[in-house]
Structure 1
Amino acid sequence: MAFVSEEEKTEDYLFKIVLVGDSAVGKSNLLARFARDEFYPNSKSTIGVEFQTQKMDINGKEIKAQIWDTAGQERFRAVTSAYYRGAVGALLVYDISRRQTFDSIGRWLNELHTHSDMNVVTILVGNKTDLKDAREVPTAEGKALAEAQGLFFMETSALDSSNVAAAFQTVVKEIYNILSRKVMITQEFKNKDAAALGEGKTVVLQGEGNNKEALDEEPKKFGCCSS
């Protein structure tokens, strides 16, 4: 997984996260609720790309999540590879009251994998749980899809704030955990090499491909977490 470069302070990280899904599933309101605790009941789709930066503290480290919203581009099939470039996390959103948006998840997942790293941390989000009387996609069906695809899962409501922060935090925490594991693995390699040098042993440098494979070993598939 390719991570966005560190900020000037070594303890700060910047993670790019993208919001993906059909138009009018509530992506912009999820972002507005998380970043500014706002909700726009009459919000309209706009053309362009918007992003908000939100700070989080994880294990004493300041993490900055730069969250990108397609802002209506998906209606015109104009979401480009540039939108996904550098993303290490994604919220794949559907509207629980509109089955068509759930049926589109496979297409969005394919697009995400085509234009970004296959290991991008992804959570499937069933939004608008406040519309319980109009529900067309059962919770169990969302969970089953997430489990089949190795994604996290959560249902949210941007209107009443249910699980909104938790959905974003789940993604950011998992990205940080993966990064931390990679740093630890790299440090272990350095320590072993240093110890070998200190004991006068010959250090054999493996081929670049082998080292890269060891450091970039794909993490195990994530379990599915529900609200």
Structure 2
Amino acid sequence: MKSVEAKVVVLGTQGVGKTSVVLRYVGNSFNRAVSPTIGASFFTCKVLLDSCRVKLQVWDTAGQERFRSMAPMYYRNANAALLVYDITSAASFEDVKSWVSELKKNIDTAIVMCMLANKCDLNNERQVPKEEGQEYAASIGALFLETSAISNEGIRPAFLEVAKELLKLCEKVPNSGLNLYETMSQEKSNNNIVSPRNHVKTNFVGNLHDGREPEQQERHSCC
């Protein structure tokens, strides 16, 4: 089986739900009392696309302004970026634009960008029209999905689409920093999401959020 490993950085201002989005995908859980991220948190998950396995190394960065100067340490050499904003906060949408500018200035290799319009369950409090988010995403060549960590809407499709784009990038852009390699595996792909074979491990190092999260694996068809 062919495999590819990719670094994914999650960016956005404080309170937009970055950690909740990641925890919903990785652990299928939601906690309203999740603590603010300090520095960054590290998670891993795997997506099986036909005969290729994509391992995502997800760096969930702190949104607080006092940690902004640390961000380059986490998005350096990133292959994909999840740009998260809160649909009930116009300011968080504008902040995403500043992150895009920063990425373009500091990353000189091809990168997959995906905008997540989070908290779509609060549509009655919406400040950012869906069309506005879609138009901006299209202008920067990014994927766009509306998500809700509470209802789990759009979460799995977001990670699946990013994995698909990473695989395309690996195959089409030689200097992307991504490489396919052969692994010994008897896993087979199908069209269903299967229960992950979890094992708990400490994924946090250095000045990162201290905690334990499972590694998740899901199987999808590439078609």
TM-score interval for Structure 1 and Structure 2 normalised by the shorter chain: 0.7 to 0.9
Structure 2 distance, partners of 1:13, 1:123, is 19
- What's the offset of the Cα at 1:182? 4.3
TM-score by length of 1: 0.72
Question: 5+ unaligned residues in a row in structure 1: which ranges?
Answer: 1-9, 184-227
Is the deviation greater in 93-102 or in 115-124? 115-124
**2:53 aligned counterpart, secondary structure:** strand
Work out which of the residue numbers 20, 37, 44 in structure 2 matches 1:29: 20
2:142 paired residue number? 151
Mapped contact 1:50–1:69 kept (Cα < 8 A): yes
Amino acid across the alignment from 2:52: K
Residue from 48, 69, 76 that aligns with 1:57? 48
Asked if residue 136 in structure 1 is aligned to residue 114 in structure 2, the reply is no
For 1:180 and 1:19, the matched residues in 2 are separated by 23
SS at match of 1:78: helix
Q: CA deviation at 1:48?
A: 2.0
1:165-176 correspondence runs (5 A)? 165-176=156-167
With normalisation by structure 2, the TM-score equals 0.73
Encode CA deviations 1:74-126: one digit per residue, 9 max, x unaligned: 45423332211121001111000111101112211011222323521001110
Matched position secondary structure for 1:25: coil
Q: Once the two structures are superposed, what CA deviation does each residue of 1:125-172 show, in whole Å capped at 9, x if it has no partner? A: 100001111111110111111112221111100111001011111111
Structure 1 residue 127 corresponds to structure 2 residue 110: no
Equivalent-residue separation in structure 1 for 2:119 and 2:56 (angstroms) = 23
| Aligned ranges 1:78-157 → 2 under 5 Å | 78-157=69-148
Larger radius of gyration: 1
Per-residue CA deviations over 1:185-212 (Å, capped at 9, x if unaligned) read: xxxxxxxxxxxxxxxxxxxxxxxxxxxx
- Number of aligned pairs? 174
Structure 2 CA distance, aligned partners of 1:140 and 1:157? 17
1:164 counterpart letter in structure 2: I
SS, match of residue 46 in structure 1: coil
Structure number with higher relative contact order (C-alpha < 8 Å, ≥ 6 residues apart) = 2
Q: Which runs of 5+ in 2 are unaligned?
A: 175-223
Over the matched positions of the two proteins, sequence identity in percent amounts to: 37
Whether the 8 Å CA contact 2:81–2:114 is kept in 1: the answer is yes
